[in-house]
Amino acid sequence: MSGKEFDDIPIDKQMKKREEEKKSHFIIPNEEVVKVDHTPRSIPQPRAINHVTHGKELEKGLCSIKEKRKDTNSPIKDDVIIFKVEISDEDKIDARGDFEKLFVKNNLKVNAVKKSNIAVVSSSLKNFEDFNSNLNKYIQSDGKQADFFQYINKISIVSKEDKQATSLIEEKSADNSLKQDVQITLVPSLDKDIYIKVLNYLKEELKKSNGELVDEPFYLSDNTPILRAILPSSGVDLLSDQEIVHKIELTPFYGSESNGKIEELDVSKVELRYENEIEELPLVCILDDGIRLPKNLSNCVAGYWVANDIKTFTAEHGTKVASRAIFGDEIDKNVLENKALTPRVRVIDAVISDGASRIPEPVLIERIRKAVIDIKDTTKIFNLSFNAKRPIKDEEVSNLAYELDRMMEEFGVLFVVPTGNHELWSSYDSLDEIIDDEEARMAAPGEAFLGLTVGAITRNNHHLSVSKEKEIAPFSRVGLGFCGTPKPDLAYPGGNVFLDNGTKYIAGNSAAYTINNKGFIEGGYGTSFAAPIAAADIAILAQQVPNKNPFVAKALLLHHAELSEAMSNLHTSQQVDLCEKLYGKGMGSEKNAKHSRKGRATYIRTGTMSRLVKERVKFYMPSTMATHSKRKTSVVNVKVTCLCIPPVSKNMGYEYVRAYVETSFHCINSNGKDSVRNPSGGMGRTKWHNIHHFSQDFSVFDSGDWQVWLHLFSKPEIENKTPIKYILIVTIEDLTEHDVDIYGGIQAEAIGRFHVLNEVEVDKVEAEVEIDADDIE
């Protein structure tokens, strides 16, 4: 064979061709959005009940509340009455219309929602008496007056059993003298003067119960006071009986887990290579126990911050987490094969733990708050690889998750958090058994609605592991999130483990390799090491989106998540729900999310909307794709992701999310008419979920302006004109084998309508250095 039969291809020419395939995403401007006024209507249906009998039952409840208060000596006894209102199971306490009629017009404040139909409410003594008088009118008129009472099922005291968390009840000892570390949350949304009056009284009650207060009261961002105390079981019951107490639970403690084996690979002499200037790399803040990289890698740390109450720290876990953010999942291969490391991002070292002990929740929240306030103008991406020991429950969102959500809403920052680890893999023989155990469910703060929650998958197959290649790791906690919310969001490599003859091993071919604080490579495992890779992906994507918005980067990463073979198999076998429970949207990949290409065009829309104005967002389906329409053959896929950033309220229980954007997909059918093509069964479009994510395959259709219709729903406390931010991503992808130029078709046929997302110049920013690197202990 002559060497002339094939031409040699220069490597740089191949690379140039590959670069040319990368195309900027389209931006949907305001001009492509049709706004439609909306007038909401609420028409309550009368209930077919005996109003007199019903009213007398409610009257008994009011009498029991009065009777209970006779024996109290609380200093707020004459200021406020707190009780419970229950409506029908099929109704919601905070539904618009009903809410105003039941509560606002009766001057009852809804302080908290236990379940969707059960509220803890408060009233002044006068308003309580007026409420009682209205009930008498309801009874005497046979329901013709004060007819709102027909929608109330029950009025009662809030029992002490209602106030004790499941975790506390499970741990309560028969020995009443055994003391526990607990958090006492007071009834939310009361006047500040009431809290001031009652706090000293509660401190005295603690002493009477043989308890002791730990630190001063801690306040959540909504001003709800929380007292941390050491209290015997007998004292728990006594404090639970106080009207002002809303909840008593075991104090959650958070920390990191680090399991690994040191490899004899010293990175202190490994070359650091840069694809760009190091100052141009995006920044990720690592909230952990410090970072101590060898000097040759020290330029990868952009700045330092240490919580005021931390004097020394180990940098044991934080160094490993940081190395995964900076260098990714293939530290071992790059050192062994390339003798070099290439940083993807730089990090800010924010020390919120000493690394020696687990942190009580109030202390951790306060440290994170201070760090975010100081660092948020330098980077918006924060990695927090800390979890509680216990799985979440559906009682309410944890204080930590709630505070992370509030900071994300207020400051525009994004927290990346892991699902957490468990040890069930050492007790079960199969992955199915592990994921079916309720103890495998994610741990706080993984349920944070606005954050990016990351589970761990394996990198490679190991014949002794219960997990195959790119399958959920044996130790990784799984979804769902709070009250069935889709969580985790994504999955990233986090290592692999197995059990052999009773001995635990880390799979060498699939370990999560890190750099430890001694400067050596270490093979380990944990969701802690999956999350920072996701944080780096977010930081890289955020450099190229409008306003460097991390939530646009998050939406792109979710939208363009990839499916491994294990994930695809679940989709093929109609187990999409199980796939979401284990992996979220799939494997995150900033490379896949960053660009459009010839056969796959992505549109991005960022905006705000209010309750009284719907939006119809247009995107263009080109004729280059429509000409390939063919019956009974899927020729194109359209994928939609809509992420909104709603207010949240911990006090509202199951109704935690206070707004969401409903999506509806409209295409042009083969007859040239508008056609609604939403997935069957509401797939990916669940009410009151802040992320809608779905896709549809099409066979026969027409080109032109297709649309996604958006409709904001919100709770009563949110005013009609209050703007809620949203991000909409739409992708059209060719499924044929004809190499259809979708992207070029849009450019040629929708000339000038959709802007192209240009590269954003990287701002050269330095983190403010609070301490010198040489001062780290």
Note the pLDDT tens digit of each residue in 23-42.
Answer: 999 999 999 999 999 988 76
Residues 587 and 29: their CA atoms lie apart, in Å, by: 30
Assign 642 a pLDDT band (cuts: 50, 70, 90). Answer: very high
Give alpha helix (H) positions in 508-622: 531-542, 550-559, 565-572, 576-583, 590-594
What backbone phi and psi angles, to 5 degrees, belong to 468? -85, -175
Say if domain 162-251 classifies as CATH 3.90.1150.10. Answer: no
The 10s digit of each residue's pLDDT in 667-726 is 888 777 888 888 887 788 999 999 999 999 998 888 899 999 999 999 999 999 999 999
Residue 103, pLDDT > 90, answer: no
Residues 569 and 573: their CA atoms lie apart, in Å, by: 6
3-state helix, strand, coil in the chain (%, to 5): 30, 30, 40
Most confident range (mean pLDDT) of 201-210, 504-513, 554-563 is 554-563
Phi-psi region of 146 (alpha: psi -120 to 50; beta: other; left: phi over 0): left
The 10s digit of each residue's pLDDT in 336-372 is 888 899 999 999 999 999 999 999 999 999 999 999 9
CB atoms within 10 A of CB 761: 8
Residue 449, pLDDT > 60, answer: yes
Task: State the angle between helix axes of 233-240 and 192-208 in degrees (0 to 180), rounded to the nearest 10.
Answer: 150
Lowest mean pLDDT of 97-101, 386-390, 711-715, name the range.
97-101
What is the model's pLDDT at position 4?
Answer: 35
What is the model's pLDDT at position 177?
Answer: 66
**Among all chains, which residue has been given the structure tokens 């000038």?**
752
Lowest mean pLDDT of 95-109, 169-183, 270-284, name the range.
169-183
What is the model's pLDDT at position 758?
Answer: 66
Residues 515 and 263: their CA atoms lie apart, in Å, by: 10
What is the model's pLDDT at position 248?
Answer: 94
Judge whether 162-251 and 255-559 match in fold. no
Give alpha helix (H) positions in 328-424: 331-333, 361-375, 399-411
Mean pLDDT of 647-671: 91
Residue 432, pLDDT > 90, answer: yes
What is the model's pLDDT at position 347?
Answer: 98
What is the model's pLDDT at position 772?
Answer: 32
HEC secondary structure over 397-418: CCHHHHHHHHHHHHHCCEEEEE
User: Under 8 Å CB-to-CB from 523, ≥6 apart: which residues?
Assistant: 260, 261, 263, 332, 495, 506, 508, 511, 512, 513
Residue 492, pLDDT > 80, answer: yes
Residue 10, pLDDT > 70, answer: no
What is the model's pLDDT at position 32?
Answer: 96
Give me the CATH code for the 596-756 domain, please: 2.60.120.380
Residues 546 and 104: their CA atoms lie apart, in Å, by: 41
Give alpha helix (H) positions in 90-232: 98-102, 125-140, 160-163, 166-171, 192-208
Instruction: Domain ranges for the chain, please list them.
Output: 51-158, 162-251, 255-559, 596-756
Domain 255-559 in this protein, CATH class: alpha beta
Percent of the chain with pLDDT over 90: 67
Residues 714 and 726: their CA atoms lie apart, in Å, by: 14
Residue 746, pLDDT > 60, answer: yes
Residue 8, pLDDT > 60, answer: no
What is the model's pLDDT at position 762?
Answer: 33
Mean pLDDT of 611-639: 91
For residue 709 the two structure tokens come to 């219709």
Mean pLDDT of 230-244: 90
Q: Which residue has the higher pLDDT, 92 or 167?
A: 92
What is the model's pLDDT at position 46?
Answer: 77
Lowest mean pLDDT of 145-154, 468-477, 483-492, 516-525, name the range.
145-154
What is the model's pLDDT at position 175?
Answer: 60
Question: How big is the CA angle at 305 (ends 298 and 283), to the nearest 5 degrees?
Answer: 60
User: Under 8 Å CB-to-CB from 464, ≥6 apart: which residues?
Assistant: 498, 499, 500, 505, 507
DSSP single-letter state for residue 279: G
What is the model's pLDDT at position 173?
Answer: 60
Mean pLDDT of the chain: 89
Length of the chain counted residue by residue: 777
What is the model's pLDDT at position 179?
Answer: 87
Amino acid at 722: T
How does DSSP assign 237-267, residue by residue?
HHHHTSTTEEEEEEPPEEE---EEEEEEEE-
Q: Name residue 750's beta-bridge partners.
A: none
